[in-house]
Amino acid sequence: MMKKNTTYVIGHRNPDTDSICSAIAYAELLRIQGDTTVFPARAGNLNQQTEFVLEHFGQVPPKRLSDVYPRVGDVIGGQPVTIGLNEPLATALELYHRHNIRMLPVVDAARRPQGLLLLKEMTELFLLPTDAEEMRRVLVSSQSVTNCLRAEVGTLYQADRIEELDLYVGARDSHSFSDWLQEIDPRRSILITGQRAEIINSAIAAGVRMLIISGGAALDQDMVEKAKAAQVSLISSSFDTANCCWLTRLATPVSALIGKDFLQVGRSELLSDLRLKLLHRDAVGAVVVDDEGLVIGIASKSHLLKNSPIRLILVDHNELSQAIPGADMVEIIEVIDHHRLGNFQTDRPIRFINQPLGSTCTLVATLYRQAGMEPDARVAGLLLSGLLSDTVILKSPTTTDIDREVCLWLAELADIDAVCFGNRLFSAGSPMASDIAARQLISTDFKEYEVGGKCLGLGQVEVVSFHAFHNRKTELEQELRRMRDEKGYALAALLVTDIVAGTSLLLTAGPKELSLLIGYPQQETNLYSAIGVLSRKKQLVPHLLKIFKS
C-alpha cells in the first residue's frame, strides 16, 4: 500500500514571523474544515522575534523540514514479504505466486538482508536446462529435502550440509538396478523409490547419499539401522514418486541461491540516487532497510514513477528559488501569498491566492472570515503577530486599509493592544545587538531574486536604533562579500530598518558601478541611506530589479 498523502503548509527558506504564523493559522483552518492530513511546517530556523511570538502564545514550533525531495521510504509499501535463509526454493515459489511479486528479500533471523531472490532467475535456473545430466542435478541438504517433502525421518547424515547431488528414480527391476548402481557414484546420489525391499536394501548397501521412500511407506527399524551404519540419509514421504522428484528439485535452500552482491538502500535515500544506482548496476530492484538495517521493503524501477505522498501549500512566497529544496519535485496544491509573481508553474490547475496586502497573515485572516469562522485567541494572536511584523506595526507603505481593519479584528479576538504588543515584538526580535554570528544575522530574513539572468540576495533586519548596526558594520560587510563570492550573487545586501525612525540603511556587496546607479544617498563606501524605505518587497526590490534589468 502506498503511504497516505501528507500536506505541509510551509513558508520560505528563511522564515519570518509572517511566514511561520500564516502557516500555523492556515493549517489550523484546514484541519477545522476536516482535512486531517495537513500540518504546518518550516523550511529554516526560527528568528528571535518568531521565537518570542510562539512562546508568548504557547504555540509549539512547526516541524522543521530540511527538504522535501522524494525519498525511497516515501514510495515503498507496507511490510514486505521476506524469506528465511534456510527455507527451500519451493517456499519461495509459493510466496511469489501467493503475493504476486517478483523479488524476495532473503533475511536472517533478525530480519537483516542477506540477499535478493529474483523470480526470473529462479525460473530460468530450474525450467530452462535441457541437458539430462544438468536437469537431474540438485543443490540440497538432507534437512532441506526432508522439510520440502514433509517427510518422516529415519536417519539423517550430515543433515545441514549443502551438496550438489544427482537425482534418480529407482524404477528398474532388481537385477538391472544392481548393474546400474555400478555406473553411478552412490555418494553423490539421491534415490527415490516406492516400497521395494530389494531396491531399498541394494541402495543402502551401495551407500547412496540419500534414500527417499515415496507413497508414505513405513520405515522399519532394521532398515533405519542399516542406513545409519552406511551413512545414508533415509526418509519417507507421503507424496508419490513424481511429486517427490519435483519437490526435491525445489528443495534447494535459498541461502545457496543468493550472492552477496545485491543492492541495498536506506529509506531516507533520495529517489534520484536510487535511479542512478539501478541504472548503473543494471539492477531490477533494491532491498530497503530502516535506520537499524532491518528490511522494510523492496524498491524497483516502477517505484521511480510513483508520486511522493508529500504535498505542499506555499505561504508567503511563490518562487521556487525561495521555496524549500525539493519543492519542484512534489505536488504543490495551493499558494497563498502577497508578493510579486515569480517563476512558478504547475502541471495542473491549483488554488492560487495572491493579493497586494501588507502580510500573508492578513490574507489568511480573510480566509477565516470567508469560511464564516473566527480564529481562537491563540491563532488570532499569531495572525496579529505576523501582520504587525510584516507591516512594521502598520507603518510600512505596503500596509492597506484591509490590514488596518483586520488588525483591529484580530487584536479584539486576541484581547491584545496591537501597538504595545508590536513594540514588544520588535524589541524582542532585534538580533543586531546580540552575539548572533554575522552570517546568521544576514540570513535570518534573506531572499533571492532573479533578474536578467542575475541573482540578487537581499536580507533585512529590523532595529530600534542604528547604534548596534554601526558597531557591527565591518563584519557584516565582510560577510556579505563572502556570501556574494560563494553564491555568485550580482548583489548581496542587507537592509537595516529602524522601525522607530521609519527609515533604513542599505549595506551592499555589489559591482563598483552600483554607487552611480543606485540612486540612494551614499553615507560611506557600500552604505546608503534608504530614506523612508521600510518594505523590502514594495520599495527596495522593485528599485533594484529595475537597476539590474538595465
Report the CATH number at residue 107: 3.40.1390.20
pLDDT in tens, 346-401: 888 999 999 999 999 999 999 999 999 999 999 999 999 999 999 999 998 899 99
**Which residues span the domain enclosing 199?**
89-256
Tell me: do 384 and 526 sit in the same domain.
Answer: no
| Overall average pLDDT of the 264-291 stretch | 88
Number of domains into which the chain is organized? 3
CB 363 within 8 A of CB 21: no
Handedness of CA 18, 20, 25, 31 (dihedral sign): positive
Tell me: do 417 and 494 sit in the same domain.
Answer: no
Residue 309 is given by DSSP the state: S
| Ranges 92-106, 299-313, 409-423: which has the least confidence | 299-313
Tell me: do 452 and 520 sit in the same domain.
Answer: yes
Q: Which residues contact 369 (CB under 8 A, 6 or more apart)?
A: none
CB 36 within 8 A of CB 4: no
**Phi, psi (deg, nearest 5) at residue 237:** -120, 145
Band the pLDDT of 130: cuts 50, 70, 90.
low
Nearest to 368 by CA among 352, 357, 380: 380
CB 509 within 8 A of CB 491: yes
CATH of the domain at 538: 3.10.310.20
Tell me: do 104 and 221 sit in the same domain.
Answer: yes
Tell me: do 245 and 104 sit in the same domain.
Answer: yes
The pLDDT, as a whole number, for residue 433 is 63
The pLDDT, as a whole number, for residue 1 is 43
Domain end: 371, 403, 429, which one?
429
Describe the strand order of the beta sheet including 113-118 as a list of residue ranges: 83-84, 103-107, 113-118
pLDDT in tens, 174-214: 778 888 888 899 999 999 999 888 899 999 999 999 999 99
Higher pLDDT, 93 or 500: 93
Nearest to 43 by CA among 21, 63, 71, 69: 63
Q: Is 158 part of a structural domain of the chain? A: yes
Domain end: 228, 256, 284, which one?
256
Computed over every residue of the chain, the mean pLDDT equals 91
Q: Is 290 part of a structural domain of the chain? A: no
Pairing state between β 264-266 and 491-498: unpaired
Tell me: do 483 and 388 sit in the same domain.
Answer: no
Query: What's the rounded Cα separation, in Å, for the pair 487 and 477?
Result: 15
Band the pLDDT of 306: cuts 50, 70, 90.
confident
Whether 37 has a pLDDT exceeding 50, the answer reads yes
> CA of 229: how far to CAs of 14, 154, 166, 205, 225, in Å?
80, 12, 22, 10, 6
Distance from the Cα of residue 276 to its chain's centroid = 16
Q: Which residues contact 188 (CB under 8 A, 6 or more apart)?
A: 163, 164, 165, 166, 209
Contacts 24+ apart (CB under 8 A), 32-36: 32/373, 33/371, 35/7
Distance from the Cα of residue 166 to its chain's centroid = 49
pLDDT in tens, 399-446: 999 999 999 999 999 999 999 999 889 888 777 766 789 998 898 889
The pLDDT, as a whole number, for residue 131 is 66
Higher pLDDT, 2 or 178: 178
Higher pLDDT, 129 or 102: 102
The pLDDT, as a whole number, for residue 2 is 46
Tell me: do 246 and 103 sit in the same domain.
Answer: yes
Higher pLDDT, 504 or 305: 504
Handedness of CA 330, 336, 337, 340 (dihedral sign): positive
Q: Which residues contact 17 (CB under 8 A, 6 or more apart)?
A: 47, 49, 50, 53, 385, 386, 389, 390, 425, 429
Nearest to 77 by CA among 277, 284, 309, 298: 298
Handedness of CA 44, 50, 53, 55 (dihedral sign): positive
Distance from the Cα of residue 262 to its chain's centroid = 21
**Phi, psi (deg, nearest 5) at residue 313:** -115, 115
**Helix (DSSP H) and strand (DSSP E) numbers for the chain:** 20, 24
Query: What's the rounded Cα separation, in Å, for the pair 26 and 38?
Result: 10
Tell me: do 349 and 444 sit in the same domain.
Answer: no
Q: Report the alpha-carbon angle 157-115-268, nearest 5.
A: 150
3-state secondary structure of 439: helix
CATH of the domain at 61: 3.90.1640.10
Domain end: 429, 453, 486, which one?
429
Query: What's the rounded Cα separation, in Å, for the pair 244 and 254?
Result: 19
